[in-house]
Structure 1
């Protein structure tokens, strides 16, 4: 019945952190498209066990401040999510990645349960503002809440900071791309 259907599914709560800083301006539209493409690919996904995968998404964009565009509680399906992404306006200013991660951690604490699979996809150009607070504590706090980070560098300069943010092993959780237009083709969905 209906109850068995829900008990047989895992819930993936996935958050996208989009770099909307001055230095990422040329990639903003591609970042938005990437988030939409990932959610499209997750629809109908099944785990290797054959169980269904229910997903909800949150979307944050960050620069000198963080704008929470959608929380998990606001999830109304992939079409609504894509409709929310389309009109998002680029922020500009400096890159304060630490604030994006602390906001993300708060959303996970308030809106996800312990059994959820928590994934964060951080898109980052690697250029932090000199006054960005130390990121290591924010990353550790999120990981202690069970958040698994996938860090995607949208410029070659992003390599070093991504090593700190990405979950281990880096080879599975970090992607550095030279050409942002190739990103949608690198995404694939696999179950666990």
Structure 2
């Protein structure tokens, strides 16, 4: 991929949604997650940054006690195909192992995207992990070491708990006011849109 002949530069933007499909997330929240992914993915594909042409690919994973790749970066075709795969997702239930979700997403980024690309992961979670869930802070640190911007999006009132809220802040990239959000926020999509532009623009590099 080469820079366009005009002053506009081409940049690859890779975004992964990580959906909580555990028993504590409940079917109700899972449906809200899917609706958010449907709506925000449409906005992402229309994202514009002055002076840049964004070449965007979107992936999706869902997790509980296991992790399933719903859409990989390598198999990205178009928005309609992606949305059909989101519609076909089935609620899993079982325990919450968000560390595995983050680790699997990190592996997907490393395997299927270039290090110089802009990498963004949006972790949707109720903040309550299974007692046997591995160290989530270590999993998040590994993701960040691969230049992945990590957003956390709380699902329910559980994230108002000070312990859960602190965990979401520790998992997310810094500063927390940019990277920690709530699914119940009526302005969530607009806030995320603004934060994506603000947080990813400094990392943009022309595609080669």
Q: Is contact 1:120-1:150 (8 Å) kept?
A: yes
Give distance in 2, aligned partners of 1:103 and 1:72: 13
- Does residue 188 (structure 1) correspond to residue 187 (structure 2)? The answer is no
Structure 1 contact 27–180 (Cα < 8 Å) conserved: no
Gaps of 5+ in 2: 160-164, 202-208
Root mean square deviation of aligned Cα: 2.0
Output the TM-score relative to the length of structure 1.
0.90
Contact residue 12 and residue 56 of structure 2 kept, 8 A: yes
1:158-191 Cα offsets, whole Å, 9 max, x none, are 31220111100000000135x3776456542553
Partner SS for 2:24: helix
Report how many residues are paired.
189
Corresponding position of 2:168: 162
Following superposition, the deviation at residue 87 of structure 1 comes to: 1.2
**8 Å CA contact 1:30, 1:181 repeated in 2:** no
Q: State how far apart, in whole Å, the 1-side matches of 2:87 and 2:170 are.
A: 30
Superposition deviation, residue 156 in structure 1: 3.0
Q: Once the two structures are superposed, what CA deviation does each residue of 1:11-66 show, in whole Å capped at 9, x if it has no partner?
A: 11000000001111221111111112122112232212x21111101100000110
User: 2: distance between equivalents of 1:4 and 1:116?
Assistant: 14
Change (3 A) 1:181 1:23: farther
Change (3 A) 1:37 1:5: farther
Separation in structure 1 between the aligned mates of residue 155 and residue 186 of structure 2, nearest angstrom: 10
Q: Distance in 2 between matches of 1:164 and 1:106?
A: 20
How far does residue 79 in structure 1 lie from its aligned partner after superposition? Answer: 1.1
Deviations 1:112-163 (A, max 9, x none): 1022100000000011101101111111111000000010111232312201
Q: Quote the Cα distance in structure 2 between the aligned partners of 1:129 and 1:63.
A: 9
Q: Any stretches of 5+ residues in structure 1 without a counterpart?
A: none
Is 1:176 aligned to residue 182 of structure 2?
yes
- Structure 2 CA distance, aligned partners of 1:186 and 1:28? 21
Equivalent residue of 1:142, what SS?
A: helix
Paired with 1:187 and 1:142, the residues of 2 have a C-alpha distance of 20
Query: What residue number does 2:17 align with?
Result: 16
**TM-score with structure 2 length normalisation?**
0.84
**Which secondary structure does the structure 2 equivalent of 1:114 belong to?**
coil
Where 1:37 maps in the other structure, the secondary structure is helix
Distance 1:140 1:187 in 2: 21
- Which of 29, 48, 52 is the aligned partner of 1:46? 48
Of the structure 1 ranges 143-152 and 154-163, higher mean CA displacement relative to structure 2 is found in 154-163
Aligned equivalents of 1:94, 1:74: Cα separation in 2: 28
